[in-house]
């Protein structure tokens, strides 16, 4: 089955700890995205990648880092510099970022809680 | 002014009735528009996309777009309890990014 997988489903972080969220897709999509969702708010873009070995900051990149070493994978690291990381993290992908009719499809999400 | 505005709801709709969801956006350069459905605790699911002014129908869903008014809407006909969810409006801005509204919660009552 083609799709996007995220792991873990739930993640707990201690103060000062870095954690990495996994995102894998087998849709052969070029573009991948990370969003953050807080209760009662819309999705906010953290980082996106149009192609392997290239990525750009979104609207709220501070305290986060990413890599794109493989087309299928786009992991997100939440660093200790992110002061309020408790949120629902969503990974998405699309055929290519520049395509006008670009439809993005989402993975199941990772819920991160700071202890 | 928010870049994408939606009524937060909840919008209470009797089963079998029409649910009408509205969305306004600020970027006049937006060309593509998407509606996502999000069940509580789950990720968004794409249900409709619209690119041209006018109406687009897909099953019980109809999307309506008016670029001059910077307005897009979603109608859900014959509402079912399974339609109870939050609906997110997401225009694609001129810079190529999706801009999400906070969503409208729909509650379909038997």
Residue of B nearest to A90 (CA): B43
Mean confidence (pLDDT) of chain B:
95
Rounded Cα gap, residues A59 and A17, in angstroms: 23
Quick: pLDDT tens for A44-92.
Answer: 999 999 999 999 999 999 999 999 999 999 999 999 988 899 999 999 9
Q: Position of tokens 């990648």?
A: A49
Residue of B nearest to A57 (CA): B97
Residue B97: pLDDT band with limits 50, 70, 90: confident
Judged by CB atoms closer than 8 Å, whether chains meet at A40 and B43 is answered as no
The answer to whether B18 faces chain A, any CB pair under 8 Å, is: no
Residue A100: pLDDT band with limits 50, 70, 90: low
Judged by CB atoms closer than 8 Å, whether chains meet at A103 and B46 is answered as yes
The answer to whether B8 faces chain A, any CB pair under 8 Å, is: yes
- What is the predicted pLDDT for the residue at B104? 96
- What is the predicted pLDDT for the residue at A15? 85
Most B CBs within 10 A among A42, A57, A92, hence the mutation to make, goes to A42
Sheet-wide strand order for A19-25: A4-7, A19-25, A76-78, A64-66
User: Under a CB-based contact definition with an 8 Å cutoff, are residues A83 and A32 in contact?
Assistant: no
The tokens for A85 are 């990381």
Quick: pLDDT tens for B74-87.
Answer: 999 999 999 999 99
Q: Which residues of A touch B102 (CB under 8 A)?
A: 40-42
Q: Is the peptide bond before B95 cis (omega within 30 degrees of 0)?
A: no
Mean confidence (pLDDT) of chain A:
92
- What is the predicted pLDDT for the residue at B71? 96
- What is the predicted pLDDT for the residue at A29? 93
| 3 state SS of A7 | strand
Residue A1: pLDDT band with limits 50, 70, 90: low
User: Under a CB-based contact definition with an 8 Å cutoff, are residues B38 and B46 in contact?
Assistant: no
- What is the predicted pLDDT for the residue at B73? 97
Residue A39: pLDDT band with limits 50, 70, 90: confident
Most A CBs within 10 A among B27, B38, B97, hence the mutation to make, goes to B97
Residue A16: pLDDT band with limits 50, 70, 90: confident
Judged by CB atoms closer than 8 Å, whether chains meet at A42 and B102 is answered as yes
Evaluate if residue A99 carries a pLDDT over 70. no
**Distance of residue B43 Cα from the nearest chain A Cα, in angstroms:** 5
Q: Which residues of B touch A35 (CB under 8 A)?
A: 100
What is the number of CB-based contacts under 8 A between chain A and chain B?
51
- What is the predicted pLDDT for the residue at A115? 85
Best mean pLDDT range from A65-69, B6-10, B30-34: A65-69
- What is the predicted pLDDT for the residue at A97? 63
What are the helix and strand counts (H, E) for chain A?
Answer: 0, 11
For the residues B79-102, what does the mean pLDDT come to? 93
Q: Which letter does DSSP use for residue B52 in this model?
A: S
């Amino acid at each position: 089955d083609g799709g996007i997988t995220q792991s873990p489903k739930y993640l707990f972080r201690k103060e000062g700890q870095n954690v990495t969220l996994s995102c894998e897709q087998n849709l052969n999509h070029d573009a991948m995205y990370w969003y953050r969702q807080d209760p009662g708010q819309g999705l906010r873009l953290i980082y996106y990648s149009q192609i392997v070995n290239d990525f750009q900051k979104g609207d709220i990149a501070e305290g986060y880092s990413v890599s794109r070493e493989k087309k299928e994978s786009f992991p997100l690291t939440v660093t200790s510099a992110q002061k309020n990381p408790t949120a629902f993290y969503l990974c998405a992908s699309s055929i290519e970022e520049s395509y006008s009719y670009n439809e993005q499809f989402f993975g199941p999400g990772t819920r991160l809680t700071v202890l | 002014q928010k870049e994408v505005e939606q009524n937060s709801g909840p919008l209470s709709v009797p089963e079998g009735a029409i649910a009408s969801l509205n969305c306004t956006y600020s970027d006049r350069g937006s060309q593509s528009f998407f509606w996502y459905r999000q069940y509580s605790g789950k990720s968004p699911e794409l249900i409709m996309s619209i690119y041209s002014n006018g109406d687009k129908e897909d099953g019980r869903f109809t999307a309506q777009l008016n670029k001059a008014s910077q307005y897009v809407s979603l109608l859900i006909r014959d509402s079912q309890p399974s339609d109870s969810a939050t609906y997110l409006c997401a225009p694609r801005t001129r810079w190529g990014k999706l801009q999400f509204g906070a969503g409208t919660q729909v509650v379909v009552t038997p």
